[in-house]
A and B are shown apart, each in its own frame.
Chain A
């Protein structure tokens, strides 16, 4: 019987707890063991403090300064944070990013679940299809794909050629029109459904078959099965995917940077928050302002994540809480 990663974690933590009990009896050995452990962790700690924690703390300080990278930073208090609310481009970036997150995350999860349901039915060559559908997730954030996306959605691109074949004469360049450019990026994101799909697939394969058999005896059809058995049992996975995809979508950068050539255009329509942050920091040398923007983004992501956790008790179903 295959065990899931989660069960492995659970088992591991159980073993770890009993290890601890054993070690409490022998304090010297415990200390020794800890030192060795930390020694092994050292390279990771160095990376963590030098390349992650250090810059994060530095950016908190810089967010309260006027800093142009070349000169020394000068303290200006909350000015950067206040300036944001009066900056029309900042609002553009917030709007674009929210639309992107609100559209791309649910769509991506829906597609991932749909494909997972299809693959679960046991196709011939399941492994092959799984790999094929996972490939976009590996390629999706690459520069090459973003460039390809420009070609596909350009005025003489693949999309319009297909439309012409079925009799719709289309000359719109989808990536170069302000009203549609963002949606091409949403499609790009949805196309990379591989990771959540694999997670869903793993979850689907663990739903006990007896449930469906029992439901069939009661005369339940596939739709009823899905909403009454499948969906409730995988809500923890929906939740997990939701959090990961949301955090990722808020920080999306590459697609907009490449597809718009770094401009966030046409007419700010693809100006992702992180792209505007990058422009302000590195092109306009307002590093203090950019740092403040990064902190506002961090707070926003934390807020939405917390919101998801708080509401989760109403819609996420854990089997161990059934009573």
Chain B
């Protein structure tokens, strides 16, 4: 046996070399793909699941066949990391020619002058908007200017599990309903399915899209036209206390259960795990929800309030980089996606309901039952008198506000914060985030 004989000096050396291995400041070093250098190669970036990538690749292929001189490379990522990736690429000095943009982020990129003003392409009909839904178009403008064409419009919706409703024996929900009716309907489901610990409603108090509808029904938008907070602390408090009453009665999922699904999107909903009969989301998510469960799902309108709350949300803007060398070709590609039957059919309803009338007509014969349900829902909401166009834009920082809502609503749900303290805290965080 040899003896242990470490000297203090050796230990200092080893300890320091351990410290030298620190790489925590390397976080910013994440890699990114770069644009190809060939003369007619464009890059496209978008977010979404693998199924959307498949549809997008089909559209690209169809486009490349018509324009053999153009090659389009693309990358995609989940929404939660898409903008991180995009920003890292931009920080490294390159930018995709074609960028899928979200309404909550577009203002920031316009401010940084990364996006191309599309007005001239719209005027010379490279991008043909002659039969485009005017409301959807208007909702997508930034300071009255077109910086991206929406590939699909969506309405906020509720989705429910028809077999759970049947098991509960509560009958189908009415075509339209108030928040109170929704609460008592959800409660009757919770009561009927108590033995299976299924709740009628999820706790949606942390969902910014539902909160926005609540706010609009109370007479304001989320934001003022100059990008400040427009809702009041009282409105936040009323929202929290509505959900508090649902939690207390057992109509919606308790805090712990709701906290057990993390992240966003259909796969992290209580509907998908069979713990709740309802979910809230965008109408284009309907088929993704349906893919996750064997139970047939149905669409249902969002509860109504004193004023119209819902609106046709322009989603998945297709923007062109201000620095793109192939702006004209990029515009041609956008036009291909929104008006050319080949492009329209390739991407389908996956990104929402197309704005162009031609596109909708071209899609008609190809629709599957889930798609038809989405279109029927959109038609129902559009004619319900419960919609009003949204003319304000999400200011830079709006993303942080949605995180703040989900965190504060959770604190309230767990009883870590009172309703009034939570309302104050969320309001202040929102003011700070967009200042």
Interface residues of A (CB under 8 A from B): 1-4, 6-7, 9-10, 51-52, 55-56, 58-59, 68-71, 154-155, 172-173, 175-178, 203, 206-209, 233-234, 236, 239-240, 243-244, 247, 251, 260-263, 265-268, 274, 277-279, 281-285, 287, 290-291, 294-295, 297-298, 301-302, 305, 309, 316, 318-321
Contact = CB atoms under 8 A, between A and B. Distances in A.
Contacts of B15: 239-240, 243, 305, 309
Interface string B240-257: 000000000000000111
A267 B268 CA distance: 18
A260 B262 contact: yes
Given A69-B87, A71-B112, A178-B414, A265 B262 contact: yes
B326 interface: no
A299 to B, nearest CB: 12
B11 A267 contact: no
Given A52-B25, A173-B256, A316-B8, 15 more contacts: A1-B2, A70-B90, A70-B114, A206-B2, A251-B24, A265-B259, A265-B262, A277-B27, A285-B87, A291-B28, A294-B24, A298-B25, A318-B6, A319-B4, A319-B6
B1 A206 contact: yes
A203 B11 CA distance: 14
Interface stretch (B209-217, B220-228, B397-405): B397-405
B298 to A, nearest CB: 28
B28 A207 contact: no
B7 A320 contact: yes
Nearest to B18: A244
A51 B26 contact: yes
Nearest to A244: B18
B195 interface: no
B108 interface: yes
Contacts of B112: 68, 70-71
A272 B83 CA distance: 22
Nearest to A56: B25
A69 B90 contact: yes
Interface string B176-201: 00000000000000000000000000
Contact of A155 (B2, B4, B12, B257): B257
Contact of A206 (B4, B10, B28): B4
Interface residues of B, number: 54
25 contacts: A9-B10, A52-B25, A55-B28, A56-B26, A58-B28, A59-B28, A68-B108, A155-B257, A155-B260, A176-B260, A206-B2, A236-B11, A240-B15, A251-B24, A263-B263, A263-B407, A265-B262, A265-B410, A267-B414, A278-B27, A279-B403, A283-B400, A298-B24, A319-B5, A321-B8
B91 A69 contact: yes
A304 B28 CA distance: 25
Interface in B345-361: none
B7 A267 contact: no
Interface in B404-432: 406-407, 410-411, 414, 416
Chain A interface helix/strand/loop/mixed = helix
A6 B407 contact: no
Given A70-B112, A247-B18, A318 B87 contact: no
B396 to A, nearest CB: 8
Contact of B27 (A243, A261, A281, A298): A281
A29 B112 CA distance: 58
B84 interface: yes
B418 to A, nearest CB: 14
A177 B258 CA distance: 10
A175 B414 contact: no
B245 to A, nearest CB: 20
B44 to A, nearest CB: 19
A154 B260 contact: yes
A283 B90 contact: no
Contacts of A59: 25, 28
Contacts of A55: 25-26, 28-29
B15 to A, nearest CB: 5
Contact of B1 (A70, A208, A260, A316): A208
